[in-house]
Structures are given as C-alpha cells and as structure tokens.
Structure 1
Amino acid sequence: MTNNKTFDVIIIGGSYAGLSAAMALGRSLRKVLIIDSNLPCNRQTPHSHNFITQDGETPAAIAQKAKAQVLQYDTVQFHNDLALSGKKIPDGFEIATEKGDVFTAKKLIFATGIKDMMPDIKGFAECWGISVVHCPYCHGYENRGQKTGIMVNADRGFHIASLVSNLTDKVTMLTSGKADFYDLQISKFQHHGIDIIETAITEIEHENGHVKNVVFHNGEKMRFDAVYANIPFIQHSDIPVALGCELTEHGYIKLDPFQQTSVEGVYACGDNSNPMRSVASAVSAGNMTGAMVNKILTDESF
C-alpha cells in the first residue's frame, strides 16, 4: 500500500522503460510513483539478447534487478496495481487504479507497452516470443543456420528476409495469401533460394513453445525451427488516448523530440511509442524521458 498520494511524476508501467525513467528521476530527488500490473509483453520470452551486459539473461531477471536498484532511491515508490483512468486537474494529473487508490502528480510518463493481437492460428500464441519471434536482432543469432519461415508479406517481409538471409540460407516466405512483392524483390528471393508459399497457415505444431511444423490449410506440413511474424497490436493502456494523446498512423503514441506526447505534461517511452522493440531501446528511451521530465520540472521551479 502506498500512503503518499502526491508525487512529482507518476510513471505508469514498471518494466524496462518505466524503471529507467524512474532511475533518472530518482537520482534527481524527484518524488516518483511507479504503477505496474506485472504483465510485460515479453513474459513468455526465455532470454533477452542484444543488450550489452545483459545478453542472454532472462527478461524477468533483468527487470527484477532493475527494480531493486531503482527502489534504492528513497524518493521512488512502486505500487503493484492497474491504472484504470486518468484526468487533468489544475496542478497536474490524477490517476485512479483498480484497487481504488487515487494518486496525483505534476507530470505523467506512460511506459505501458503494447498488447500483441494473436492470429487465429492454433499454437501461435504458445510459441510467441520463444520460437515464433519478431526481430532478427533479438533472436536471429540463436536461430542461425536453422530452417526459418517468415510469416510476413510485402515490404516488411522482404526487409526481414534480407536480414535473416545473412543468418541462414534455409529461408521460406509464408504469406498465407497472395504474395505482395515487386518483381525485383521476387528476383532477389530467387537469387537467394527463398521460396514463397501462399497457402494459408492453420496451425503451428510445437513442443513447449518450440516450433516443429507449420500446418497449412490443405493439410500439408513443413518443418521449421523458427518463424518470424509481424502481428498487429493495440496500446496496452487506453489512458493516453483518453487524455487526448495522439497516435501515429501505425498506432504508436506520437511524441515530440523531447518524448512529450501531444498533451502538455504527458510523456511516453518504450514499446508504446517506438517500433524499435527491444529491451535496450526501452531502457534508452526511458533514460531520456526521465531526464527530459526532470528538466521541465527544473525549468518550472528554478
């Protein structure tokens, strides 16, 4: 239970971006409350990669270590709860939570992440983040040399294929419908021995989240060791939009160069506002956001 109800900054979301922002603010003696519901989008991912000093560590271990370090700063508090609503008040903002608490702050930071929308493919959700993955930089090295499917069409699929082809020569495009590639892209696929299969996928057979076979609508199967996918998402929290924050055409929270949303006093960082979806990127964005918010608070009081 958090007894104090008034803060300089409320950070909604206590994963990598939120904790990083909190550290920057805590080191400047700002009174900070982190509200987190403990549902990170990578909770199923076994290992985090491409993050210097933490390569190969579990996402949960990174978050736990970060939280312990952040809470060493006396002005930072952590509240396990779900933020349900927010509103503008004369001196800042008010946040109400699922447990019935109401907190106020001069500034808000949303580090709430995004929620992946799973396709209607049996076994997909169980494999997501384990062997059905989104990023060659996060997962590609571990799947080097493996038989790899790419469930992405059009330019995005071509881009991922070009990156993955440097890691394995066993690549197949799985478009689940008519392939949408330019002639030049198709010729490059042919040059690199990359086949295109347009048959719809109905199931991913797996063992504890590790892909074994992709099953097609016609009943045929094809063995794969890893599959890349690009799936739609929604904002994990609807509070930013309710406050008036604009989204980009791709569904991310729109930011200015200083991490501020379209609503003055409201900031965002991490996956909710940045397509570079990685732990390292989230930490970097959080650090920047904490510094920016501290500067604004300083400018207002100095």
Structure 2
Amino acid sequence: MEKESTQEVIIIGGSYAGLSAAMALGRAGRKVLVIDSGKPCNTQTPHSHNFLTQDGQEPATIAAIALSEVLKYPTLSHLNDLVISARRIADGFELKTASGRSFKALKLLFATGVKDLMPAIKGFSECWGISVIHCPYCHGYEIAQQKTALLANGETAFHMAQVLSQWTKDLVLYTNGQVQLSEEQQQQLHLHGIPVIDTPVQEIQQEDGQLKSLLLADGQAHFFKAMYSRVSFAQHSDLPESLGCTINEQGYLVLDDKKQTSIPGVYAAGDNTTMARTVSMAVASGTLSGVAINSALTLESW
C-alpha cells in the first residue's frame, strides 16, 4: 500500500461544504487534502436556487467552479477516491482508500452528506430532484400556482401543507395509506381547500424524470406536473460512526459550538449535520468548520 505524507487536515467529501472548508483553510496556509468520490446527492437536480450569484445554475457547474477556485491555493490538493476506513492513531488519524492509498492527518472533516432512501413506488427515484422535490425554497418558485401533489403523512404532511400554501392554492395531499392526522388537522386542511386522499400510490408515471400522473392502487390516474415529498435518509458514510461520532435521533451528526463531533479532532459540515439542505447553507457550514479547525490547530501550537 502506497504511503502518503501527513496532512494537517483531510476533508472527506468535496462538494459545497467540503470545498468551502478547504478554501477557508487554504487561505490560512494549511496543508489540506480533499478526498471525494464524485457522488453528490443532488446529481439529478437540474438547477440550484437561493445561492447569490449562482441562482438557476446547474449544481455540477457550481461545484466545478468551486474546485477550480480552491485548487488555486498551493497548500490545497484534491483526490478523486473513496475513503474506506479511518482510525485514530497517536498523532491524529489514518485513512485508507479504495485505490489502496494511505493518508495521515491531524484533523478530519466529514463533509460526506446524506443519501436519500427512495420509497418502493415505481417511477419515484427517476423523478426525484427533477419533478418530485423536497423543498419549496429550493424549487417552489418554478412550479408556483400549479396544481401540485404532496406525498406525505402525519405531522410532516400537515407542516408541509401549511408551508406550501404560500406557493400554490391547488394542493392535493396523498397519505399513501391510512391517514395519520388528527381530526383538527384534517379540518384545517379542509378549510384551506386541501383534499386528503389515502388510496396508496402505486406508480409515478413519468418521462425522463418529468411527472405525468400518479397511478393509484384503485386504478385511477391523477394528473400533475410536480409533487413534493420527504423521504428518509441515511448518512452517506458510515466512517464517522465507526470512529465513535454521536448521531442524534434524526440521523444527523452531533456537533458542538466549534463544529466538532463527539470525537476530538473530528469535525463535520453540510447535509450530514442538518436538515437545512441548500447549497448556500452548505457553503456557510463549510466556512465555519474551516475557521474552527484552523483555530484549533493554531491554539494547539501555542
């Protein structure tokens, strides 16, 4: 196995949070390696919004611009590889990658994001991020005031219905089975003109990711061009947990006020730490983490 020199910081995950952290550290003159496997969770998403100067840009284009800017700093380097193991050693951490390389670092930053878990509905995954979306702040403007479906249940469904009422007055809620809403919530939805349909969704009929209709278990087809839904998720990398990092009940890495996990020397940034999944917030999270890591390294050297 090829041995590599020790880095001050290794960042695992080279999307918006990881590259933002790298820039902050590079501008502080830190020796940093970004290792990224090139599989962001927003691969299918055609456009990104709510990020100043890049509104409507393709996510991959934003990431490419970010990488080119980061690599202008001479102490920063980038490797397209997959980290498969991480362990604590006397003077930091040792990582091994799928290509057989070994690296050491004083500090680790996990910017590995999360992976969405698709429901067992035919056509759902093909539409995810394109015409089946999770966030009105990210994509709601483009489909505002259209007839829109919402696939959700329980408290999540009620909250999303309230939020989505700002973007459309023509909303239909599909609970995909037994309704898990209180009588009061159902009355509120009725008062706001939001039908609730509990017939299971059998298939999302689509073409190239563009929603055409929802095919229900009773054979009826309901026609929409867009649908909101919340899906479950898992940490994209199990390495933080293998190191002993605490994960909360919602499935996110727990951080202190200095962006450090429960394991000293291990930090995290981006989607693996919060439900606020936007490019702008990931960038902000990465910057804060980079500053925190540089501060820790500086104080430890005194």
- TM-score when scaled to structure 1? 0.98
CA contact 2:3–2:103 (8 Å) conserved in 1: no
Return the alpha-carbon distance in structure 2 between the equivalents of residues 194 and 293 of structure 1.
48
d(CA) in 1 for partners of 2:89, 2:118? 37
**How far apart are the structure 2 equivalents of 1:280 and 1:268?**
16
1:262 partnered with 2:247: no
Does the 8 Å contact 2:107/2:265 carry over to 1? yes
How do 1:176-215 and structure 2 match up within 5 A?
176-215=176-215
Q: State the Cα distance separating 1:221 from its structure 2 match.
A: 0.8
What residue in structure 2 maps to residue 285 of structure 1? 285
Conservation of the 8 A alpha-carbon contact between 1:71 and 1:77: yes
Q: Give a deviation string over 1:277-296, Cα, whole Å, max 9, x none.
A: 11111001000000000000
Task: Report the CA distance between 1:232 and its aligned residue.
Answer: 0.9
Question: Greater CA deviation, 60-69 or 181-190?
Answer: 181-190
Q: Which residue of 1 aligns with 2:163?
A: 163
Question: Where do residues 113-192 of structure 1 align in structure 2 (5 Å cutoff)?
Answer: 113-192=113-192
Shift of 1:162: 1.1
Question: What is the alpha-carbon distance in structure 2 between the residues aligned to residue 65 and residue 287 of structure 1?
Answer: 16
Q: Give per-residue Cα distances to partners, 1:116-142, cap 9 Å, x unaligned.
A: 111111110100000101111001111
Q: Deviations over 1:262-289 (max 9, x none)?
A: 1000000101111101111100100000
Superimposed CA distance per residue, residues 148-186 of structure 1 (whole angstroms, 9 cap, x where no aligned partner) = 111111111111111111111110111101111223322
1:40 has 2:43 as partner? no
In the alignment, does 2:103 pair up with 1:90?
no
Query: Contact 2:10/2:105 (CA < 8 Å) preserved in 1?
Result: yes
**Offset at residue 109 of structure 1 (A):** 0.2
Q: Which amino acid aligns with 2:74?
A: D
Partner in structure 2 of residue 220 of structure 1: 220
Rounded to whole Å, the distance in 2 between the matches of 1:50 and 1:90 is: 43
CA contact (8 A) 1:122 1:203 kept: yes
Q: Which amino acid aligns with 2:84?
A: L
* Map of 1:6 onto structure 2: 6
Structure 2 counterpart of 1:229: 229
CA distance in 2, matches of 1:200, 1:48: 31
Q: Provide Cα deviations, 1:67-87, integer angstroms capped at 9, x if missing partner.
A: 000010000000000010000
Post-superposition Cα deviations, 1:196-223, rounded to whole Å, max 9, x if no partner, equal: 0101111101121111100111111101
1:254, distance to aligned residue in structure 2 (A): 0.9
What stretches of structure 2 of length at least 5 have no aligned partner? none
What secondary structure sits across from 1:157 in the alignment?
Answer: helix
3-state SS, counterpart of residue 245 of structure 1: coil
Partner of 2:17: 17
CA distance in 1, matches of 2:232, 2:168: 26
**One-letter amino acid of the counterpart of residue 8, structure 2:** D
How far apart, CA to CA, are the structure 2 residues paired with 1:230 and 1:168? 18
Deviates more, 1:146-155 or 1:101-110: 146-155
Ranges in structure 1 where 5+ consecutive residues have no aligned partner: none
Does the CA-based 8 Å contact 1:136-1:160 persist in structure 2?
no
**Aligned residues: CA RMSD:** 1.1
Counterpart check, 1:71 vs 2:71: yes
- 1-structure distance, mates of 2:248, 2:147: 35
Structure 1 residues 19-52: Cα deviation after superposition (integer angstroms, max 9, x where no partner): 0000000000000000000000001000001111
CA distance in structure 2 between the aligned counterparts of 1:66 and 1:184, rounded to whole angstroms: 48
Q: Which amino acid aligns with 1:219?
A: G
Corresponding residue number in structure 2 for 1:107 = 107
SS of match in other structure, 1:140: helix
Superposed CA offset, 1:92-121 (max 9, x none) = 001100000000000000000001111111
Q: Which amino acid aligns with 1:241?
A: E
SS at match of 1:211: strand
Q: What is the distance in 2 between the residues matched to 1:272 and 1:188?
A: 34
1:249 Cα deviation (Å)?
0.2
